[in-house]
Structure 1
């Protein structure tokens, strides 16, 4: 089997350390869209938060309602700046004694530093567990068939701008079913099933599953087509949760105070965040290379946003997730580098 690592394609990529593809990225994309493939995402940082007060503590520090999370549940959370900008995003998975937080490669140190600063007298012991736990993902419509005991993800609707206090259920806005799996945990998510397994057992778990392999480039193409945002790609230093579509899965709008909560509430009640996440179709005439992260999106020669992730999709062609100014019209004729781009509405 041909294995091409991410760093062989892009030595500067933050995603180094996992396979980009196994010789046929297009075939791997079709596998993830029509059946199920296994994607090695063990480059993700993982933190462990054991302690009796872990749920109530994370509840007070983050955007998510976590005080009642149980041992068979997972969710998503954000850590915001005092001004409401997205600083951290993580999935949280609880096993009854420990909350496991998995986040983007390289983001764990910043998240751990914040958690350690906020411990005070709380009975929690956050630590870096990246060397202990590896993340693998079963992606595709048949992923759930491999672990039928996992319930479908439940993500609540974002309430309207003028919702009544007390109308949002006092629970996590995204609830992901969790079960023990091969010495670790399995978590049902919108794109399939994430497996948090002991890093020392990663190879044996992959062999035991016997699921066809797919690389991270195929995973990213599926993610972009599904409009799923990623910290550090579809976010910059001033991103608000509503601008990058984090609201439904990661933000509870009626849970009380946390850092940045006033900005989140104000933007939501006004109903018009300054920017929005969109999917762009690029013509691919002048170049067949997807645009790099951070490439400006221009309208009449003026920058109106930036590319988060650009990919070549096996059916849609060259596409990209981008963050644009709110006032850019849906039918605007945009340019991204040498390509003409149109918003998918």
Structure 2
């Protein structure tokens, strides 16, 4: 599990009904909920909700070679990313294990990056160390902050008018916002999702503007519940020090809503990615667990997932969903059948069969070897 970095409390915590996240939470410093977290989830799915995610770590990269340089040291194909486009990306270690997950947007000759608050300083340090002679300047951007808008009603004229933009961009597209910053469309945590990366001194302005236009305040509880159902992992909660991209659904180019392009040039950790893609299968995979809601205690992230008393994985994010009840993400061994009775933290658990990825496809490398052998 990653170390959580304590952030300065958001000014939006003074909003009516705001309940802060616990101090030991990775989301400390912003609102956990506003008094009715399950209702907030329904707003996020069915109408419109706004979530304060201003604890996210934001940095900027200037310089004419920023994209070609970033392309060489990360897993996504971003060398020719057009202005007003975004992508998800990873930094891997030499063994192909995930060190950082981040979202980037290139707009107006600057690349903006936002990532987990607990790993942001390390990501910035890594990028600065890797500049060498490239014309790229990674810098912290503490004056920028992230808000998220969720729900189909964001597309309605009232909220579009409040945003001051004529229409919403396609997935991973970004447009400037009045007064600075930008809005980008995301493919998760729900079908209707947008991030606003705005000047921190305008957080209260945007919060007031968008709530007055009909977006209901929602805490990180709502955001996380949608993320878990969408099977989107979170670094440090749903990953560990051994996680490789294939295990947690981060494989794919921008058009596939992934973070690892399989046909780009060399980058750190590429050998592992290519080997698993072409010849092997991931040792574990990310699944959705349904937890016994009648249990007296609730398991916690990091708890062992067991089958017949034998550890077969570990628990990630645990959340209460407004329809599904208590659910969680877990990394479990690929060989564990979906109908295996599981126990985690003393609580019975079951794998959602629809969450199990398929591994029956023939890898390109195996197919080539078979052809050479006449099979």
TM over 0.5: yes
Distance 1:220 1:280 in 2: 15
1:79 Cα offset (Å)? 0.1
Aligned counterpart, 2:231: 227
Query: Which sections of structure 2, spanning at least 5 residues, go unmatched?
Result: 1-15, 161-165, 253-257, 354-375
Task: Tell me if the contact between 2:74 and 2:91 (Cα under 8 Å) persists in the aligned partners.
Answer: yes
CA deviation map 1:157-195 (0-9, x unaligned): xxxxxxxxxxxxxxxxxxx01000131010100130000
User: Which residue pairs with 2:195 in the alignment?
Assistant: 194
- TM-score of the pair, normalised by structure 1: 0.90
Give the corresponding residue for 1:150: 168
Structure 1 position 5 matched with structure 2 position 15:
no
> For 1:1-30, what per-residue CA distance to the aligned partner results, in whole angstroms no more than 9, with x for missing partners?
311000xxx221121110001111111011
Match for residue 321 of structure 1 among 329, 334, 356: 329
Q: Which position in structure 2 is the counterpart of 1:163?
A: none
Match of 1:180 among 176, 179, 186: 176
1:306 CA displacement:
0.8
- What's the CA shift for 1:138? 0.2
Residue number in structure 2 paired with 1:58: 70
Check 1:239–1:200 CA distance in 2 against 1; reply closer, same or farther (3 A cut): same
Instruction: Answer whether contact 1:45 1:105 (CA < 8 A) is retained.
Output: yes
TM-score of the aligned structures, taking structure 2 as reference length: 0.83
> How far apart, CA to CA, are the structure 1 residues paired with 2:294 and 2:279?
40
- Residue 241 of structure 1 pairs with residue 242 of structure 2: no
Does the aligned pair in 2 maintain the 1:70–1:96 contact within 8 Å?
A: no
Q: Secondary structure at the match of 1:126?
A: strand
Give the alignment of 1:162-311 within 5 angstroms. Answer: 176-182=172-178, 183-191=180-188, 192-210=193-211, 211-248=215-252, 249-287=258-296, 289=298, 291-311=299-319
Distance in 1 of aligned mates of 2:325 and 2:297: 9
Relative contact order, CA 8 A, sep 6+: which one is greater?
1
Distance 2:343 2:170 in 1: 39
Task: Tell me, in whole angstroms, the C-alpha distance in 2 between the residues paired with 1:221 and 1:50.
Answer: 35
**Alpha-carbon separation, structure 2, partners of 1:84 and 1:287:** 40
Deviation beyond 6 Å, 4+ runs, structure 1 = none
SS of 2:43's equivalent in the other structure is helix
8 Å Cα contact 2:297/2:347 also seen in 1? no
Give the root-mean-square deviation of aligned CA atoms.
Answer: 1.2
Q: Which protein is bigger by CA-based radius of gyration? A: 2
Which residue of 2 is the match for residue 141 of structure 1? 152
